[in-house]
Structure 1
């Protein structure tokens, strides 16, 4: 399958199903600089460049995409440095609210309901002195990635996934798994679950899926912190490496990480037959998304329980979280310049080539309008 097809199908699906006006993300101060690398995008002009440093933090799911774009921007704007620390969505949002970074990256929009006595969106607004906006930049699927010697094809239902990640099914030849994988020789190897030990938007999206599609098998509530069983590993790279080095390993991780580590990816059966993770199947699932944000706040709600035939249901959207009106006008101008480049057709094409889905044209137009409104 070709990644470019993933981007095209996801884009078509989104364009045909939603009219976005704004979206969400998280950020924190970054430590990993992508400066000095060559980029392929060429939309920035000298008027968009700046001399100085931007720091962002958050989603490790978008790490590769962000660094690719930062490299392209910096290759054209030699006086600019854009750092990104892929500490996880939860950490990014906290750092953004604390004023430690210029913007955040998050796989979940800022929460508008109270949790633990706080409302993320309100906290961010107080920190900014203005509403914080969720601006979507990349979309992509979450793979249920595994490494089981001799097993090249695996089908899972939501119930099976819930039981595996809750530690109720502990060996790969369990009769329940065998029933969903007729003809597959499953070994008696112990199942080794790896989960994100850091607060993660990927964890939140995956648990949203389990809660929506298999509530009887996943009793916990969706959250950035893991509530199941297994061994914790830091960030997407950590869980992917854990599975890669462990016979019997399984995790939830962004598709690009599963591909980079040559992991098996399970087909998911939400009730209309097993669906492999492909460009077409991602596009069909994203077609069920609904807009929840208003104005220049572009948040989405995905239908994780969809039974649409041929739809791969476990997906996420990564947002950049920014102050709509910042306290530092010069900093806001620089953020606008970088995000304008990030949203450009050229930059979006570069991330498509490394395993992410670019913004569909109609959404891209609204994202560009939101970025232009930053002040």
Structure 2
């Protein structure tokens, strides 16, 4: 069964490729939905695959990339008969922990390894004193979803969003929300914040966004644990979606695919150039500001400039999901299998991503991924 997801950002191929080259516990995935319209065609670049090595790879982490990983695994098995990979969508925090602990061969995370938290050093130790690389394979927007009877449309600014998620704004008819909505007062109801209770890369990206877009209003910092100090936690993306849907007056941050799957309302964002609805095109307009900040084959991205952008028509709240791998340090059989899996994922598997609601890698960036994979030793 093909799991359809809505992480498509159709303009990313055209808008994002130049910028990129220039420079959560959750076992559930959305049950269905239509694929995004206008999705860009998969890149045509191919690469030879040296199949073999370890028969069963283990990977764990981000739930946001579960649908894409399903396709990668399917393509890997078709290309390399008898080879397989088991993926556990236990959340980004667990993905890093299991990789650094040597439990998994590949870690999945919605944010790159954090040096300040010791993750970079722990990964290097796991890789036998060799650096680990962050390889972004999946891109997609994050929705700010809500349930509020009597409000079919809600517009939020970065400052208002930061104040809601830090508890400074407590009711939907707060004057700041009214101003953000052109003077239209929303119902007089208390706000219930819903956040990821588990460690999550989505939380890390959301809090990084708030710090970049509203630095004076969000002083809680970033990280995989929600630091806002208000609201109720829910396990995984599916848990957040269910919690938002369960009560009137709720608001939370969640991957676009889950918001669409549960038919949740999504707030428009006004970064200073007018309210912007979350669509494939508006997310793509923002993604063009993404830049590679890692060195060499470590392809970590710096999304802060993107988050702080005030570009008209851009929906800036987006994330990238990484596969974390050892540059060196695997045994020979694992090295061969990891390289084969990632090569298939970056080439053969790309043709199916658009139908599943993901974005095929742009050709130029696909080349950077393949260069890094080839360099794994």
TM bracket, shorter-chain basis: 0.7 to 0.9
How far apart, CA to CA, are the structure 2 residues paired with 1:350 and 1:184? 44
Instruction: Flag structure 1 segments of 5+ consecutive residues without an equivalent.
Output: 22-26, 33-40
1:373 to 368, 372, 375: 375
Question: Pick from 315, 331, 336: which aligns with 2:334?
Answer: 331
Contact 2:79 2:344 in 1 (8 A): no
Q: What SS is found at the alignment partner of 2:319?
A: strand
Q: For 1:199 and 1:122, how far apart are their aligned partners in 2?
A: 20
Cα distance in 1 for partners of 2:185, 2:355 equals 35
Distance (whole Å) between structure 1 residues aligned to residue 47 and residue 234 of structure 2: 38
Distance 1:349 1:243 in 2: 34
Structure 2 CA distance for partners of 1:324 and 1:4, relative to 1, 3 Å: same
The answer on whether the counterparts of 1:50 and 1:79 sit within 8 Å (CA) in structure 2 is no
C-alpha offsets along residues 211-263 of structure 1, whole Å, 9 cap, x if unaligned?
11112221111111111111111111111121122222211111111111111
Q: Which of structure 1's runs of 4+ aligned residues deviate more than 4 A?
A: 3-6, 41-47, 75-78
The one of 69, 74, 78 equivalent to 1:71 is 74
Q: For 1:368 and 1:191, locate their aligned partners in 2 and report how far apart those are by CA, in whole Å.
A: 46
Q: Distance in 2 between matches of 1:46 and 1:181?
A: 53
Structure 1 SS opposite 2:286: helix
Supply the distance in 2 between the matched residues of 1:172 and 1:141 (Cα, whole angstroms): 24
Which residues of 2 match residues 220-369 of structure 1 at below 5 A?
220-228=220-228, 229-302=230-303, 303=305, 304-344=307-347, 346-369=348-371
- Who is 2:160 aligned against? 160
**Conserved? CA contact 1:59–1:201, under 8 Å:** yes
Higher mean C-alpha deviation, range 245-254 or range 310-319: 245-254
Match of 1:218? 218
Normalised TM-score (structure 1): 0.87
The answer on whether the counterparts of 1:193 and 1:231 sit within 8 Å (CA) in structure 2 is yes
Q: Over residues 108-153 of structure 1, what are the superposed CA-to-partner deviations in whole Å (9 max), with x where a residue is unaligned?
A: 11123x33xxx32122111102211111101111111112223222
State the 1:20 CA deviation: 6.7
Q: Which moved more, 1:327-336 or 1:144-153?
A: 144-153
- CA distance in 2 between counterparts of 1:20 and 1:92 reads 29
Q: CA deviation at 1:170?
A: 2.2
TM-score, normalisation: structure 2: 0.86
What are the superposed Cα offsets for residues 58-80 of structure 1, whole Å, 9 maximum, x if unpaired?
Answer: 11111222123223433554523
Partner of residue 139, structure 2: 139
Residues 128, 20 of structure 1: CA spacing in aligned structure 2 closer, same or farther, 3 A cutoff? farther
Please name the residue that 1:121 is paired with: 120
Distance 2:136 2:291 in 1: 14
Q: Counterparts of 1:272 and 1:174 in 2: how far apart (Å)?
A: 22
Q: How does 1:4-83 map to 2 (within 5 A)?
A: 6-19=8-21, 48=51, 52-75=55-78, 77-83=80-86
Distance in structure 2 (CA, Å) of the matches to 1:223 and 1:6: 25
Note the C-alpha offset of 1:269. 0.7
Instruction: Classify 1:77/1:149 alpha carbon distance in 2 versus 1 (closer, same or farther; 3 Å).
Output: farther
Q: Residue 94 of structure 1 aligns with which residue?
A: 97
For these two proteins, the number of residue pairs brought into alignment is 354
CA distance in structure 2 between the partners assigned to 1:148 and 1:74 by the alignment:
45
CA distance in 1, matches of 2:27, 2:221: 32
